[in-house]
Amino acid sequence: MKPARFEYHRASSSAEAIELLDTLGEDAKLIAGGQSLVPMMSFRLARPSALVDIGRIPGLDAISVVDGGLRIGALATHAAIESTSDPAVLDGFDVLPRTARFIGHLPIRTRGTLGGSLAHADPAAEWCVLALALDAEVVVAGPSETRIVAARDLFTGFLSTALEPNEMILEVRFPHRPTRCSFVEHSRRSGDFALVAASARLDLEAGICRTVRIALGGVGPTPVRAVEAEALLAGRAPSSELRADAARAAAAALDPVSDVHAPGEHRRRLAEVLVRTALHRATGAP
Amino acid sequence: MRRVEDPPLLTGDTRFVDDLAPPGTLHACFVRSPYAAARIEGIDAAPARAVPGVEAVLTAGDIPGGLRAVLDRPEFTPTVMPLLAGDAVRHVGEPIAMVIADSRYSAEDGAEEVLVDYDPGPAVASLDRALAPGAPRVHDEMDDNLLLQVPMYDDPELDDILARAAALLEARFTTGRVTAAPMEGRASLARWDRRDSRLLVYVSTQVPHLVRTTVADVLQIPEHTVRVIAPDVGGGFGLKCVVGREEILVAAAALRLGRPVKWIEDRYENLAASWHGHEQRYDVRAAFDANGTLLAFDADISCDVGAYSCFPFSCGVEPLMAATEMPGPYRLAHYRARTRAVATNKVPIAPYRGVSRPQITFVMERVMDKAAARLGLDPVDIRRRNLIARDDFPYTGITGLVYDPASYRESLDLCAGHLGHDDWRARQEAARRDGRLVGLGFSCFSERTGYGTPAFAQRRMSITPGFESADIRMDPSGGVTVAVGTLGHGQGHRTTLAQVVSDELGVDPAHVRVVQGDTDATPYGWGTFASRSLVIGGGATKLAAGALAERLKRVAAHLLEVAVEDVELRDGRLQAAGAPEVSMSVAEVARVAHHAAHRLPPGEEAGLQARAGFDPPGTFSNATHGAVVEVSPATGEVRIHRYVVVEDCGVVINPMIVDGQVRGGVAQGIAAALYEQLLYDDEGQLLTATFMDYLVPTAAEIPPIEIHHLETPCEYSATGAKGMGEGGTIGAPAAIANAVSDAVGHLGIEVDAIPIHPAWMRARIEEARAR
Amino acid sequence: MTAHEVEVVVNGSRRALAVEARRTLVDALRHDLGLVGTHVGCEHGICGACTVLLDGEPVRSCLVFAVQAHGRTVETVEGLAQDGDLNPLQEAFSRHHGLQCGFCTPGFLMLATALLRREPDASEERIREVMSSNLCRCTGYAGILEAVAAARPSGAPQEERRGA
């Protein structure tokens, strides 16, 4: 279980990284923390011709609140987000550190990065699910332009994104401070990828849902929004009955495939349970 | 007492095989079959030889031969497990070529370039498919896939008793395929010592002498030219008590190339190409009278043993153990068992902690709970009624096993007491009113340990393990070295055996060095497996130390001019009884024995050494496990709230080590009950070849385990101790399955298959509630 | 092969080596620098046997390429004992039987070192959570958890709590 040969380049700026990607061709890959890529390389399931190491590019790991929204550099590690003590972040965006705790184990979180996780696009990855729930905007730089990709447009298929081979994620923006957002997941063993993960965001005004976002992971090739469930709740008070109806609607819209970890039907049922729990927590219950 | 093994393991001063690197070492990896069943039409190794760093590529043409385990039974068909497959492959992961290079990285590069032309055929990857009429055969030369089929026990009255019983239970039980997955996989490093004309083999094994004999036999070199060293060994659990193809191949390659060759099994190989076990199916019928007395038992046992017999135990290891030990701790007068080893296109089985006893205990304990439910009896009461009692010993079981004294009923009573069994139903009802599904389950079992050659001879293997010897010697300063054929690899033998010697000789354990794991330095022995080491190796050690003590006394008596029967040995001194001023230290005697041998009594040999052997009949440890679990109706998950073990392994020599064995064993049993399973698809592809898919539990899944002890001293072992390395793993699946069945029994759900997958559990609860 | 020059400070000593890009940090530590105390258990980031500290943070050294560690500091199990004496954490592992075969032990020791450095008063629940990062096949974990708890400055753990 040793990786195949590859060329190694260490980039000192994002511009240099992008130029390297552009030059090296589409078999080259970025490596930041490498916590998803390296295991695949060990099994030789991933065989990049070259790795461009962006782990040392300065200034890409900041966590800051700008205009009421949160901006996190692509190289911020899960552990850094988990342990942030910035009151501006914790006030309203505390779902991020709470979610970070679910990612793998501590020694994975010290290396893995927010940008890397989104670029890898595992359908059960915590950040991918949360990005959908929070309407995240992903700042993507390429050789000629820097563009913003909405989270809902980012995930195009299993482990696939809208990023071009010569693009890299610079920053992730969470423009809206949610009133309440929850994240829950279920795995058979501590620290494993979730069988199913769910996040629910309820922006309430006078007890009425103004904005509802429900996102699920582990139920298909990409993380998904539960739009039917969202529609049930929008404009209404999220009563216990309504939340249960929404959870059923979310599950009914899914058709997860079966794999070695669980039959698809089990994931569908877990999705209902987790959406119900996520909505319950998003109403402010403990 | 703290373990002498610990300091180097804590400081990183370790000597696991991969920590050794003689100059010029080459690294091997294997080309392994991607197909479960295929003819090999051709192998082109030329492209691999051109890969940078590759030194050699060896195939069956270069290293022919194989391993053939034999049972002297007409119902057994031996298989030849080729060292390297030449004509056909019979499971995914089977080695076909060995690529040897300057690093493991280059070796893997080379392996990718070995071109093998396969003609895939149909695979049989389950018991059902392998047993179906007209099924594809794993071995062409056989008429079917039955490597062993034995009607082992029968009783002419059995059918009659079953027909007339107050309660007749019929059930099918299945248990999942698992593997030992020691944290260090297998590993081997061999080098030819040109100066001494010796082949040195460093191997991560539980059985160094068996490796030596097998390497010599297969490579056809004199055994005395082979030296096998098991340095630090990173866990075994049975996986390393057999001799594998790769260990032989590494030795062969080192001989052929004249350079050190190292192979370190990686985790893919460990899960996909090493050894598996415990995949079994039982169709049973059990008759009880109205009081809950077990009258008769009929078992039909099928073990999915994979493609080949492991060497030397053979694929009979599971089916024969299962049939012989099925009755466990219960009195049984009428018994029938048919047992079979079924070949499939899967990784072969080898002994894994418990060997069939986790499965038979699961079966028997589920039968007890089912019978209790059928007859309206309490699960503890029905067990008490059937367990072998104090007055029964020695109890000769229906399969001929002789049970020495144990505490079957007492351990059950104690366990039930600790778990508050008396008011359990009330507590369970209260929980159910709160919507919670909680259950309590027990598991009683016997653990046959420390069996010597007479017991092993009944297996009728071509090789009969069992005895142990110990060589003990005292140096001129009074320090003691004892060399044994057993091999602790986590069990702390160097600590415990030093305690045994210390108790016998009255010397500080710190002055006792235990030598193991080097065939040049130890007497021929059978290593460490089957919970044998402390009973047999410890017995030999105690006897050898006792013989040495007698020599010390004889010499001291002569020097002190007192009668030998008046010499006492205590606290490092030899003294005349009743006259402590007439004494000398052990060290003084040792000095004389070596440096003033002319002062020894007439006829006394110079130096101080002794040797003893031990070959006991075997002894039964016993235990009761009890678990309280909760089942989540929402997710199907099982959480263990309490886990209690009442263990009786005779005299406990080192309580810390004993409890460590119990805890580790229970963790593996919980794993088999709830988490781990090796899954193959219909084509024989392994679907669980990573630690992301094969779920070894973490500290978050394993609950605290409460341990209580009873002590029924063993009459057959020199120390009073019984073996106990496997009990944790044996008892846990049944306790968990019974607890889960208790939690959901009112919904009509019974756990008759392990592992208990949450998806299955959730679906059954939903179905029950929809009814 | 292109050799990459890598400089690391390992257990306080500056070490230089030339490695292929694909060489993992754990292979470089073990086979290039001779620090064989760090073990390899799965090479895909699950078992944690290879846990070392990189700039003070616990990492899986099978998931880090040696080239990525250039200019960084690495701490391994070989750096724990002081003047030949076991440190308090190592002592606690021995006293509480936190090891049997010892293969996974260095990874657990480094993980626990990192935890207790940042959270010297970590609760037993927190210890269990963090220690669940790594796999042990021998102990059933109880001895490991007790040892880490005992190595806190606040000292020994309470009796194992009984569940519901």
What does the pLDDT average to over B347-368? 98
Partner residues linked to C10 by β-bridges: C13, C74
Q: Where are the alpha helices (DSSP H) in B35-133?
A: 46-49, 104-113, 127-131
Burial call C14-27: b when 16+ CB within 10 Å, e when fewer: ebebebbbbbbbbb
The chain A residue lying nearest C132, using CA atoms, is A190
Tell which residue, B569, B554, B536, has the closest CA to residue B470.
B536
**H or E stretch at A163:** none
pLDDT at C163 over 50: no
Q: What are phi and psi of A214, to 5 degrees?
A: -130, 120
For A260, which of B112, B687, B762 is closest by C-beta distance? B687
pTM of the predicted structure, to 2 decimals: 0.97
Place A284 in a pLDDT band, splitting at 50, 70 and 90: confident
pLDDT at C160 over 70: no
What does the pLDDT average to over B174-193? 98
The chain C residue lying nearest A54, using CA atoms, is C68
List, for residues A208-227, the tens digit of each pLDDT value. 999 999 999 999 999 999 99
Question: Treating both helix axes as pointing N-terminal to C-terminal, what angle do B758-770 and A264-282 enclose, rounded to 10 degrees?
Answer: 80
List, for residues B639-673, the tens digit of each pLDDT value. 999 999 999 999 999 999 999 999 999 999 999 99
Please tell me the predicted confidence (pLDDT) of residue B559.
Answer: 97
Q: Kindly state whether B723 is in contact with chain A, defined as any CB-CB distance less than 8 angstroms.
A: no
List, for residues B246-280, the tens digit of each pLDDT value. 999 999 999 999 999 999 999 999 999 999 999 99
Tell which residue, B60, B59, B65, B63, has the closest CA to residue B111.
B59
What CA dihedral angle connects A83, A87, A93 and A96, to 10 degrees?
0
Tokens 């916590």 found at: A35
Place C156 in a pLDDT band, splitting at 50, 70 and 90: low
* Rounded CA separation B533/B540 (Å): 10
**H or E stretch at B504:** helix B493-505
Tokens 């099928």 found at: B302
Tell which residue, A25, B263, A48, has the closest CA to residue C22.
A48
* Rounded CA separation A98/A280 (Å): 16
For C68, which of A2, A4, A53 is closest by C-beta distance? A53
Chain A residue numbers touching B267 (CB-CB < 8 A):
1
What does the pLDDT average to over B490-507? 94
List, for residues B522-538, the tens digit of each pLDDT value. 999 999 998 899 999 99
**CA separation (Å) from B442 to B172, B365, B429, B638?**
20, 8, 19, 16
Long-range contacts made by residues B581-586, C-beta under 8 angstroms, separation at least 24? Answer: B584/B556, B584/B559, B584/B560, B585/B478, B586/B474, B586/B478, B586/B505, B586/B506, B586/B507, B586/B552
What CA dihedral angle connects B357, B358, B359 and B361, to 10 degrees?
80
List, for residues C106-116, the tens digit of each pLDDT value. 999 999 999 99
Please tell me the predicted confidence (pLDDT) of residue C84.
Answer: 84
* Rounded CA separation B237/B179 (Å): 9
ipTM at complex level: 0.97
List, for residues C5-48, the tens digit of each pLDDT value. 999 999 999 999 999 999 999 999 999 999 999 999 999 999 99
Contact A197, A126 (CB under 8 A): yes
What does the pLDDT average to over B193-214? 97
Partner residues linked to B202 by β-bridges: B189, B229
* Rounded CA separation B265/B604 (Å): 51
List, for residues A80-126, the tens digit of each pLDDT value. 999 999 998 888 899 999 999 999 999 999 999 999 999 999 999 99
Q: What are phi and psi of B267, to 5 degrees?
A: -70, -30
What does the pLDDT average to over B188-207? 97
* Rounded CA separation A21/A7 (Å): 12
**CA separation (Å) from B606 to B551, B613, C119?**
11, 22, 61
Please tell me the predicted confidence (pLDDT) of residue A179.
Answer: 85
Determine whether the interchain pair A260/B693 forms a contact, defined as Cβ–Cβ distance below 8 Å: yes
Tell which residue, B423, B586, B444, has the closest CA to residue B504.
B586
Please tell me the predicted confidence (pLDDT) of residue B716.
Answer: 86
Contact B765, B744 (CB under 8 A): yes
Please tell me the predicted confidence (pLDDT) of residue A123.
Answer: 97
Please tell me the predicted confidence (pLDDT) of residue C164.
Answer: 33
**H or E stretch at C71:** none
DSSP state of C162: P
- The minimum CA-CA distance between A274 and chain B, rounded to whole Å, is 9
Per-position DSSP letters for B541-588, written without gaps between them: HHHHHHHHHHHHHHHHHHHHTS-GGGEEEETTEEEETTEEEEEEEHHH
* Rounded CA separation C71/C73 (Å): 7
Tokens 């004294």 found at: B405
**H or E stretch at B320:** helix B317-325
For A188, which of B267, B268, B695 is closest by C-beta distance? B695
* Rounded CA separation B621/B411 (Å): 11
Tell which residue, B669, B139, B771, B218, has the closest CA to residue C140.
B669
Contact C98, C143 (CB under 8 A): yes
What does the pLDDT average to over B543-556? 97
List, for residues A116-154, the tens digit of each pLDDT value. 999 999 999 999 999 999 999 999 999 999 999 999 999
The token pair that represents C37 in the structure block: 């105390």
pLDDT at B1 over 80: no
Tell which residue, B696, B690, B698, has the closest CA to residue B269.
B690
What CA dihedral angle connects A273, A274, A280 and A284, to 10 degrees?
160
The token pair that represents B160 in the structure block: 């009659």
The token pair that represents B498 in the structure block: 């030093």
Contact C56, C73 (CB under 8 A): yes
Tell which residue, B294, B623, B321, has the closest CA to residue B443.
B623
Contact A175, A69 (CB under 8 A): yes
Rounded to 5°, the CA angle B569-B574-B578 comes to 85
Determine whether the interchain pair A2/C51 forms a contact, defined as Cβ–Cβ distance below 8 Å: no
DSSP state of B374: H
DSSP state of B442: E
Chain C residue numbers touching A5 (CB-CB < 8 A):
1, 20-22
Determine whether the interchain pair C80/B181 forms a contact, defined as Cβ–Cβ distance below 8 Å: no
* Rounded CA separation B518/B35 (Å): 38
What does the pLDDT average to over B591-609? 96
List, for residues B445-460, the tens digit of each pLDDT value. 999 999 999 999 998 9
Burial class (CB in 10 A: 0-12, 13-18, 19+), A285: exposed
Q: Which 45-104 residues of chain B touch chain C by CB within 8 A?
A: 52
**How many Cα atoms sit within 13 Å of C33 on the Cβ side?**
29
**How many Cα atoms sit within 13 Å of C1 on the Cβ side?**
18
- Name the pairing type of β-strands B226-229 and B198-203: parallel
Determine whether the interchain pair C48/A107 forms a contact, defined as Cβ–Cβ distance below 8 Å: yes
Mutant choice from C2, C103, C126 vs B, greatest count of B C-beta within 10 A: C103
Q: How many CB atoms lie within 10 A of CB A157?
A: 10
Q: Kindly state whether B23 is in contact with chain C, defined as any CB-CB distance less than 8 angstroms.
A: no
Contact B682, B127 (CB under 8 A): no
Rounded to 5°, the CA angle B140-B143-B149 comes to 120
Tokens 């626990």 found at: C112
* Rounded CA separation A284/B519 (Å): 68
The token pair that represents B636 in the structure block: 């199907």
The token pair that represents B461 in the structure block: 């293997």
Contact B744, B450 (CB under 8 A): no
Place C1 in a pLDDT band, splitting at 50, 70 and 90: low
- The minimum CA-CA distance between C83 and chain B, rounded to whole Å, is 11
Please tell me the predicted confidence (pLDDT) of residue C159.
Answer: 45
* Rounded CA separation B709/B75 (Å): 42
Tell which residue, C113, C36, C97, C148, has the closest CA to residue B6.
C97
List, for residues B414-441, the tens digit of each pLDDT value. 999 999 999 999 999 999 999 999 999 9
Tell which residue, A214, A232, A206, has the closest CA to residue A282.
A214
List, for residues B103-150, the tens digit of each pLDDT value. 999 999 999 999 999 999 999 999 999 999 999 999 999 999 999 999
Q: What percent of chain B has pLDDT over 90?
A: 97
Q: What are phi and psi of C6, to 5 degrees?
A: -130, 130
What does the pLDDT average to over B674-701? 98
List, for residues B38-58, the tens digit of each pLDDT value. 999 999 999 999 999 999 999
Mutant choice from A106, A108, A192 vs C, greatest count of C C-beta within 10 A: A106
Determine whether the interchain pair A8/C65 forms a contact, defined as Cβ–Cβ distance below 8 Å: yes
Q: How many CB atoms lie within 10 A of CB C1?
A: 14
Partner residues linked to B43 by β-bridges: B116
Chain C residue numbers touching A190 (CB-CB < 8 A):
129, 132
The token pair that represents B189 in the structure block: 């490093």
Q: Is the peptide bond before B23 cis (omega within 30 degrees of 0)?
A: no
